[in-house]
Each structure stands twice: as structure tokens, then as C-alpha cells.
Amino acid sequence: MTTYTSRTEIPDHEKWNLTHIYPHHDAWKEDFNQVVSDIHTLGSYNDNIHNAEQFYGFLSEQEALMQRYTKLYVFAMLQNDEDTRQSSSQTLLDQVQQLGVKISSATSFFMPYLLELEEETLKRYIEEVPALQYFEKDLLESYRYKTHVLTKEKEEVLSQLGDALASPKTTFGMINNADIVFGDVTNENGEKVPLTRGMFAKIMESADRDKRKEAYKAYYKPYVQMKNTIASTLSSAVKNNVTLAKMRNYPSALEKALFGDNVPVSVYENLIETTKKNIEPLHRYMKVRKEKLGVEELRAYDLSAPLVKDVREDISYEEAYQTMLESLKPLGDEYITQLKAFKDAGVIDVRETPGKRSGAYNIGLYGVHPYVLLNHRDNLDSLFTLAHEMGHCMHSHYSSLYQPRISASYSIFVAEVASTVNEVLLIHHLLDTTTDKKMRKHLLNHFIDQFKGTFFTQVMFAEFEKTVHEKVENGESLNAEVFNEMYEKLFRTYNGDDLVFEEEVKFGWSRIPHFYRPFYVYKYATGYVSAIHIAERLLKGDSETLEAYLTFLQSGSSEYPLDLLKATGVDLLSPEPVESAMKTFARLVDEFGEE
């Protein structure tokens, strides 16, 4: 694997090209100044929309402004992520984020105004100005929120309180990213050194059990020490969610969170109940893991240890891209042709360099093209990350190609489907083409662990969130002891009796950033089972599923998420997709457990 010390060393075809957004900084500044001016124009519509022409004027100018603002934001974000150490990029991103707050404030009057407007008046406006048909579906959708939007004055107050209401999340972010100091671990030279997050992930995959235990204890040490402070931030976040739900007339915080996607509570409850009814294969996997590791007691620090040793994982980026293309052939020639074209088109930022944002992501930009960030490391994980992010990339591409701007962005509820379909097709391709028994075991183990992390763990988190919010809604208090008790009980239920508990396990709740974004994690699980369902039918050569799936990728947010998935044959109102995924998991565990 080549190590780069600077972006200048990387060939151009392995870097994204931001000149596709703005040819130079002066063009960015020009658009920035235009948005500043347009904010004033939008604000002047407050109390001044009295007819169809003015109504259309506000909506069309708002959309033009948001298209321009999105370009500004994406450019600033991508440039900052190239090298997060650059103060000039940080300044650019900060400026555009402040601009976003001003836009929100200037337009906060519109929703209360719209919902005071009689539906008959709105329909008359649309007849008078036919161009309003472009906005019609979204406008009528807004009436669903009628009982949940407050008066103009109250909405303005809530808009101004945004930073204060977000403070528990901000505070936890500062604790978790800036202030946490982990304990010490022993390095290769026998010296004690401070543990870092990057080191922790690597050590937990080490074959040395003593090192894993030492790192596990060191990692949890500050969370245990700060349990009361973190419990306070999480408790405040939950209380804020419950209070806002009450203020906006929702029956519960959960129903508020599900309302935007028009998802009934039964989908959330069905996910948890069906998973727990079919949990036995996960318990069986814990038994298999214990046997494969040859330990008397399976501990929490054994859950990421390698079960198959000495497997070749040297996969160059070129080889990874070619393997991905081969694996995705069930998606058809057009899909593969577009994927090939993206490789050298300034879309993907491939290599890891000092200061570059870690991890990987895709972001769609309407009117330009998607952008994908990678930190490719020439191994199996990087191959899967590539397939995952290019799934998102193709979803963004197709949605932008086939939808108008207003419906081109897809909901987070369906966001993980395209990425996971790609990963499932890839794992099946690798399993079908490898002749090495050891590699096959390694791939099976990779699939099982991915399934565990993306599905079972997220369902457990979803149940934890539901329980803690219900406690506050029932007038009960939350503190570290309450969180510990709930988390430990759930961890035991999901992971079974073969796992011997460390004292630290019960503090797992204290390190999860997603708990500050209410009822979000369940979407990983529903997306995962949906993808398994679709991919397994694609692998059977089902032409109807292929056509339906490509239509799904082209649909953006033109329909509610459940309806989009139902058109592909996935009905999340029923237990069937979850049960089907559980059967797949059971088969994987059975094969992996064979000698």
C-alpha cells in the first residue's frame, strides 16, 4: 500500500475535482454574496404574500436560493475534508454554516403562514399560476403537519432556541471528541502509551487476548469515570425530545420522529419484536465464536477478534474497483457502464493523506454529480467500503437524473438500501468465486460480523431509545444507574448466555453519539433487511425485481419510503422481511460453524 504525505503526490484521477462545482474561489464568493442578498429578498415576503403570484415568487426564489446554498455548502465541506487542518477551509465552512442559520430564520414564517391558508385557497393559487404545480405535492404534504406547527411567533422562538436545544448533543460531542482521555496500553516495546480510538479498533482485532483486554479496560475507563456527566447530557437530550413532541402535539417522541417518513409505530415495534423472536442464531454464533477462539469464557473484548488467521488481504484500488464491477453485474449493463465512468471522472477521493477526514461517505449534488470520500487501504474492508459508498453514489446519480430537484434527495430511511445491496452482491460474488477454504470462512465471518453490527446492534440500540423515552414520558427520572440497568438487560437479551459480562458492558450507552439524534439507528436495521431481501432475489436473476429496484433508485423522495420499498417487494409493515433476513443469518452461522 502506497503512503502519501501530500495530496500533490496523488494522481488526478484518484482525487475528486471541486472545479466541477466552482471553477475558482471568486465564483464561490460571488454565489455567497448572492445568497446574502437573496435572504433579504426572502425575508421581505413575511406578511407580504397576498396572492398567487407572490406565493409563487417566494417558493421559486427560495428554491433557487437553496440550490445555490447547497453548492456553497458542499464545496466548503469537501474542501475542508481534504485537509481539516487548514484554517482557510474551516473559515469557509463556518461562514456557510452561519449563512444556513440566517436562511432558516428568514424563512421560518412560511410554514405557519401556509398552514393558516385554507386548502381551497391554495388550490385556487395553483389554478391561477400553473407553475405552482411543481410545488403542489410538497405543499399539500405540509398540511399533514397542520396540528404540529405552532404560531409564527412561537416558531420564531423555537428557531432562535435551536442552539440551546442542541446543547446536550454539542456537549457530548465535546466530551467524546475533545475531552476524553483514554487509559494507557502497552506498545510493542513494552512501554505504556495513551490509547487512541484508532489504536483501540486495531487492538480489538488483534489475536493477542491480553492486549485486547487491556485496551478494552483503558477505552471504557473515562466513560465510567464520567458516567454522571454523560448521563446528564443524555437525559437532557431525551427530555428535550419529549418536550418538543408534547409542544408540537405528538402522542410521543417516537411518533414525532417517525412522522416525516409517514412510518407507523408498528414498523418500529415489529422490527424489535420479530428480531427478538428470532434471536437464537445470534446466541448460537456467540457459542461458535467461543469455540473457534478456544476460550473458557467469551468476553466482550473477544467479539472482534479474528476467527480465521493468515488470510491474504492485499487488494489494490484497481483490483478492488474491478472486483466490485464484476460483483454488481446482476444490476445490469447501464449500471456497470455508469460505475466505470465514475472511476476517473473527478467523483472519488481515494487516498488517505495527513489531515484528511477519516472514514468514508457519499454526498449527492444536484446539477453537478455525487462526490465520494474514501481512505482506501488496499484490504478487504476497503473493498467493501468502496462497494458501499458507490451504492450511495449510484442512488444519488439516478435520483438526480430522473427527478426534479424538489424530489431528488432520498430519505435517510431508504439511504442504506442501495449501499447494502451492493455489499450483499459483493459478498456473494466473493463466496462464489473463491476456491480457498480459509478465505471462504473469512468471508463468512466478515458477513456475519457485518450483519451483527448493522442489524442486531442497531435493533438493540433502537429498543434502548424507545425504553428511555417512554420512562420520561411516564414521569420517571433518568440517571447513570437507570441507563446501566436498561443497557445491561438488553445486552444480555441480545447476546445470550455464552458471553460473560465485564463490568464495563453496562456503560455501553455512554459512548453512542447516535443517541443524540433520536430514533435514527432503527433505519440502519430496516435498510439492511430490505437490502438482503432485494439482493437475494437479484441473485436469482429475477428480472421484475431488477426493474423495480432500478426504478427505486430513480425515485428519490417522490413517494413515502415504505411505498418505495413496497414497490420492490419489501413490505416492512409485515414481519416477513425481518424473518427472511434472520433465516439468511442462521444459514451463515450454520456454515461457518461447520468444521
DSSP secondary structure letters along 340-405: HHHHTTT-EE----TTPPPS-EEE--TTS--EEE----SSHHHHHHHHHHHHHHHHHHHHHHHS-G
Distance between CA atoms of 590 and 187, rounded to whole angstroms?
37
Distance between CA atoms of 562 and 263, rounded to whole angstroms?
7
Distance between CA atoms of 38 and 163, rounded to whole angstroms?
24
Distance between CA atoms of 137 and 159, rounded to whole angstroms?
25
| Nearest to 416, CA basis, from 325, 559, 524, 510 | 524
Angle value at C-alpha 549, between 543 and 552, nearest 5 degrees: 150
From the candidates 119, 205, 296, 389, give the one annotated as an active-site residue. Answer: 389
Please give the grid coordinates belonging to residue 451.
Answer: 450483519
CB-based burial of residue 220 (10 Å sphere; 0-12 exposed, 13-18 middle, 19+ buried)?
buried
DSSP secondary structure letters along 138-189: HHHHHGGGGGG---HHHHHHHHHTHHHHTHHHHHHHHIIIII----EEE-TT
What is the C-alpha R_g of the chain?
Answer: 25
DSSP secondary structure letters along 473-494: HTT----HHHHHHHHHHHHHHH
Helices and strands (H and E) in the chain: how many: 26, 5
* Residue type, position 113, single letter: Y
Distance between CA atoms of 103 and 37, rounded to whole angstroms?
11
Phi, psi of 349 (to 5 degrees): -100, 105
* Residue type, position 224, single letter: V
| CA 465 to each of CA 171, 481, 497, 504, 508: distance values in angstroms, whole numbers, following the listed order | 19, 16, 23, 20, 13
Note if 389 is an active site residue.
yes
SS3 sequence, 286-346? HHHHHHHHCCCCECHHHCCCCCCCCCCCCCCHHHHHHHHHHHCHHHCHHHHHHHHHHHCCC
SS3 193: strand
| Nearest to 407, CA basis, from 190, 191, 199, 556 | 556
SS3 434: coil
| CA 491 to each of CA 181, 219, 270, 457, 463: distance values in angstroms, whole numbers, following the listed order | 26, 18, 19, 9, 11
Please give the grid coordinates belonging to residue 138.
Answer: 410538497
SS3 501: coil
Going across the sheet that includes 361-363, the strands are: 348-349, 371-373, 361-363
| Residues acting as catalytic residues | 389
